[in-house]
Chains A and B, each alone.
Chain A
Amino acid sequence: MTRCKLPTGFNNPQIDEWVGLDFISRRVGLETHTTAGREAGATRIFLLGRIAHRMKASLRTLPLFALVLAFFLATELPAQDWVHTGTNLGNDRIRIAAADFKPVGEDPQTPALKAAFDATLYTDLANAGIFDLVSKSMLPQATPGAPPEINMTQWTAAPANAAMVAFGALSSSGGRLVVYGWLFDAKNTVNPQVLAKQYNEEASQEMARSVAHRFADEIIYRLGGGINGIAETKIYFVSSRTGSKEIWAMDYDGQNQHAITHLGAISLSPRISPDNSRLAFASLGNQGWAVRMYSLELGRTVSFPAGTAGGSNQSPAWSADGTKIAFSSSRSGSPSIWVADASGANPRKLTSFKGPDVSPTWNPRTGTEIAWVSGRTGLPQIYTMDLDGANIQRMTDGGYAISPSWSPNGQALTFSWNRKYGPGAPGGQDIYYFDIASKRWLQLTHESGSNDFPCWAPDGRHIVFERTIGGRTQIWSMLADGTQQQQLTKTGNNFMPNWSWK
């Protein structure tokens, strides 16, 4: 595979649509690849034909066509190792300051609640991926508790240089936690208020964190182009910390980790329903693997008839409207992709090939396409198809590619790929961002462990994945350009994360 580096500052309208808000493209700018380099002639013709077709359809794709053509014409493209040439190219993140909230009243609970709130709000804004958050050491000492108390010049002056300031007051009394929060635009001296929120909840550590998540998501929604923040989302995962692999859940930031199932069997592949009410997963029993359904409302497993047919029934995936589940089943021979109603009725088969077909993921935007892993040609590769099993397209051009997750905007996949696979090859198993239309990709993890099961966050800005280093597997999250990688679990071994839809 030949790789080529795009010129820095390269700007293509097609790429600008990779992720909403130009998030990726603005940050990427550093390295983009195509899978088209060393394709067989037939594939080239196919690809050219496809692109020519696209060109006819829209002149907008002309730059892309020219780009791909340039790849074909280029004889020897220089291969090079990955480099970070810089970040935030052409992208100015909003500089925001999160003031420590002002404690009000003498209630002995207040300091602990305030500490949890302040830390959570700060972390949420730092994690959001759209802010240049003023570091704690550069914050003014002031803790304005209300609009009349804030002296804006303190915050706009160096070293804070804040464009936006989040501040407010927190009190607890009589077992209630009351929080007032404001977001002010420091540059707008006339009418600086962007947001004012009030929260009144039970006074507890968990609720202090929850209120901070909600306030953070309000800020992120306002300043992040109308995309909902993820501070209130959950991550479901598999943990073996109690001895058997059970399904667990945690807040998006790794807090509040708790077990969902207590089956004592091996349970894998948790997939939360779009409405957060049910959890589909696979569990090993006497007759093999069954897709099972757990109701978070009832606190117990409920029936899913399509999931129990003997053999291997596993890797469930919800359609974005919550009405259907795709999964892999070996009930009719080699494991194939099947689709059933969310009730477990009407299972029907989509694929029929020799190698294993597993790990389906729906295009959440259209609901009419599925990407999945197939071993039909040998090593597993990523394919896409329509919901009727037609229009099968191979995405990856080689190596060992597994565990796809379809981006919320429908335009990209993320999956685990060992591109330099083979005897003596130096390849690692890394997480990739893959643009479906152009088949160009970006490697997100580099030279740290073996990485698998990436899953998009609903904001399309974050990806959660599992990383194995030295035989220990943990859940990590990162921004969708591979930056801000952070470990979320530390206890036992933890696998197969699944980010909730909201």
Chain B
Amino acid sequence: MNTRNRILVPVALLLALVTVAGCKKKPVPPPPPPPPPIVVPAPTAQITATPTLITAGDQVVLTWRTTDASSASIDGIGDVPTSGTKTVTPSVSTSYHLLARGEGGSAEASARVTVNPPPAVVQPPTMSEEEEFRANMQDIFFDYDAATIRADAQAVLAKDSSYLASHPNVKFVIGGYCDERGSNEYNIGLGQNRADAAKNAFVSAGVAASRIRVVSYGKEKPFCTESTEGCWQQNRRAGFTLDR
């Protein structure tokens, strides 16, 4: 009984459904539409650029799509497939102008990419200027508790001065440095005298005083921190750095 019912019930329901459905009146089919006039649709064109704002050197992806076109071209790129993508790296702001041609006429679209100039590339020239300065300007060293220019320092200053004479636009800082012995205050005074002695030597050699800035660092910025005479000598100096 169970098995029979399981089959009978769905069948009966199905029959009932078909019967009910069959009762609806069938609509009269509409007359066939008149044949369309023979017109060629005008083409359409779309182009996008991603992103639209870049820094020079960055890449932009152009994506374009046309319909009913037989050929397409983008200004500055030339003929292109009727749809596609292309990666470009414009160096200046550019309008990418897409022209799609078909039997039905032509269509245009454009995408504007704004290109910011690259960050000022000052690093390479300044580095080289700085490197050149460092390669040519040697620091001078002093005797203990003294601010007088030693004979060996005079030779160094002569070479430094000739570099400065041939690079009249170079401005620089003379730092006065002292070894760790003695008070911070006395060493600032001593460092000032060392830096001033170097400045006076440069000015005597014809370097304009306006190119020179003098700062005494005393014993606040040592080059070397060991308590040895070798280290102390390294710290008793007038140091030259490019002024920016």
* A binding-site residues for B, Cβ under 8 Å: 245, 266, 268-269, 282, 284, 286-289, 311-312, 314-315, 328, 330, 333-335, 355-359, 373, 375, 378-380, 400, 402-403, 416, 452-453, 471, 495-496
Contacts and interface: CB of A to CB of B under 8 A. Distances in A.
A314 B196 CA distance: 17
Interface string B207-244: 00000011111001000010000000000000000000
A333 B191 CA distance: 13
Contact of B193 (A287, A288, A356, A471): A356
Nearest to B197: A334
Contacts of A379: 145
Contacts of B215: 284, 286-288
B185 A359 contact: yes
Given A266-B220, A284-B220, A378-B145, A356 B190 contact: yes
Interface in B169-193: 181-186, 188-193
Instruction: Identify whether the interface residues of A are mostly helix, strand, loop, or mixed.
Output: strand
Contact of B184 (A268, A356, A471): A268
Which 4 A-B pairs have CB atoms at the shortest separation, nearest pair first?
Answer: A356-B189, A335-B189, A312-B192, A402-B183
19 contacts: A289-B216, A311-B192, A311-B196, A311-B214, A311-B216, A312-B216, A314-B189, A315-B185, A330-B192, A334-B193, A335-B188, A335-B189, A335-B192, A355-B193, A400-B181, A402-B183, A403-B183, A403-B186, A453-B183
Given A312-B192, A330-B192, A269 B185 contact: yes
B136 to A, nearest CB: 24
Nearest to A378: B145
A266, A312, A315, A356: residue with the most chain B Cβ atoms closer than 10 Å: A312
Contacts of A314: 185, 188-189
Contacts of B216: 288-289, 311-312, 330
A465 B205 CA distance: 45
B220 A380 contact: no
A328 B214 contact: no
A138 to B, nearest CB: 43
Contacts of B183: 358-359, 373, 402-403, 416, 452-453
Nearest to A403: B183
A328 B184 contact: no
A349 B145 CA distance: 24
Given A269-B184, A453-B183, A495-B184, A358 B220 contact: no
Contacts of A357: 189
Contact of B214 (A288, A356, A402, A495): A288
Contacts of A269: 184-185
A335 B193 contact: yes
Contacts of A335: 188-189, 192-193
Nearest to B144: A379
A492 B186 CA distance: 23
A356 B185 CA distance: 10
A174 B41 CA distance: 92
Contacts of A311: 192, 196, 214, 216
Given A287-B213, A288-B216, A268 B185 contact: yes
B192 A356 contact: yes
Nearest to A269: B185
A202 B73 CA distance: 85
A289 B145 contact: no
A396 to B, nearest CB: 13
A335 B216 CA distance: 11
A287 B215 CA distance: 6
B186 A359 contact: yes
Given A288-B214, A312-B216, A334-B193, A358 B145 contact: no
Nearest to B227: A471
A216 to B, nearest CB: 33
Contacts of B190: 356, 375
Contacts of B188: 268, 282, 289, 312, 314-315, 328, 335, 358
A311 B188 CA distance: 10
A471 B196 CA distance: 30
A264 B188 CA distance: 19
Given A268-B184, A268-B220, 20 more contacts: A245-B220, A287-B215, A288-B192, A289-B216, A311-B196, A312-B188, A312-B191, A315-B185, A328-B188, A334-B189, A334-B193, A335-B188, A356-B192, A359-B183, A359-B186, A373-B186, A375-B190, A380-B186, A403-B186, A453-B183
A453 B215 CA distance: 23
Contacts of A416: 183
A359 B225 CA distance: 25
B189, B213, B214: residue with the most chain A Cβ atoms closer than 10 Å: B189
Nearest to B182: A402
Contacts of A287: 213, 215
B214 to A, nearest CB: 7
Contacts of A266: 220
Contacts of A330: 189, 192-193, 196, 216
A403 B183 CA distance: 7
B144 to A, nearest CB: 9
Contacts of B225: 471
Nearest to A354: B193
B145, B185, B214, B225: residue with the most chain A Cβ atoms closer than 10 Å: B185
B231 to A, nearest CB: 13
Contact of B185 (A245, A284, A334, A358): A358
A310 to B, nearest CB: 8
A334 B83 CA distance: 80
A57 to B, nearest CB: 35
A289 B195 CA distance: 13
B186, B190, B214, B216: residue with the most chain A Cβ atoms closer than 10 Å: B186
B153 to A, nearest CB: 18
A334 B190 CA distance: 9
B228 to A, nearest CB: 13
A437 to B, nearest CB: 25
A335 B220 CA distance: 18
Contacts of B182: 380, 400, 402
A312 B189 contact: yes
Contact of B145 (A282, A288, A359, A375): A375
Nearest to B213: A287
B214 A375 contact: no
B218 to A, nearest CB: 8
Nearest to A330: B192
